[in-house]
Amino acid sequence: MLDAIAAVSRLLSRLFLWFAGIGLVVMTGIIGWQVFARYVLEASPAWSEQASLVLMIWYISLAAAAGVREGFHIRMTVLEDMSPRAKPWLRLAAHAIVGAIGVAMAVWGAELVRFTWPHAIPTLPIPRGVAYLPIPISGLLIVLFALEQALAERLGRKVEPQWN
């Protein structure tokens, strides 16, 4: 079962990290265009700020979820270092907490999307819910990635990061 989860999570992690990188580049281009248009053309595009914010929510949320799988999220290991015998159990507890946070993001993020979907973003022709859609998606990914980490920990294996 771990091998199947690992194959899916590797693919999703790589996909969303690439998406996040491309999103960052596109957002940088949009902001660059906004600055150029404002100061050189003296006509700043109305859509650029909102488009950048929507992109930023998307790429940060998905990259943060991938960070759970890749192990580059912030964590404190002081308790693990103090008690080597309890280390496996503390790591399992940490994965369970991260998974629970993912569940909360998925549930409440889906509610946020549902409540904001009827409202349009003023300068973009898309529903406001599109901006918040990565919250439940990344929540589900966090649950998957935390489950993979917990199963690997329990089986004495290690989740190998793709991005070294």
Q: What is the pLDDT of residue 78?
A: 64
**In angstroms, rounded to a whole number, what is the distance separating the alpha carbons of residues 27 and 6?**
31
SS3 127: strand
**In angstroms, rounded to a whole number, what is the distance separating the alpha carbons of residues 136 and 109?**
5
Evaluate whether residue 134 is within a structural domain.
Answer: yes
Residue 80, both tokens: 């693990």
In this structure, what are the phi and psi dihedrals at residue 127, rounded to the nearest 5 degrees? -70, 150
Evaluate whether residue 149 is within a structural domain.
Answer: yes
Evaluate whether residue 160 is within a structural domain.
Answer: no
Q: What is the pLDDT of residue 76?
A: 66
Instruction: Give the number of domains in the chain.
Output: 1
Beta-sheet strands, E only, within the chain:
none
Q: What is the pLDDT of residue 62?
A: 92
Q: What is the pLDDT of residue 9?
A: 86
Q: What is the pLDDT of residue 159?
A: 79
CA distances (Å), origin 84, targets 76, 112, 150, 163: 15, 41, 17, 28
Q: What is the pLDDT of residue 71?
A: 80
Per the CB < 8 A criterion, the answer to whether 113 and 161 are in contact is: no
Residues 6+ apart with CB under 8 A from 106: 136, 139, 140, 143
Q: What is the pLDDT of residue 163?
A: 66
Low-confidence ranges of the chain (pLDDT < 70): 73-81, 163-164
Beta pairing partners, 120: 127
Q: What is the pLDDT of residue 24?
A: 93
Evaluate whether residue 57 is within a structural domain.
Answer: yes
Q: What is the pLDDT of residue 82?
A: 72
Percent of the chain that is helix, strand, coil (3-state, to 5): 75, 0, 25
What's the domain range around 67? 2-154
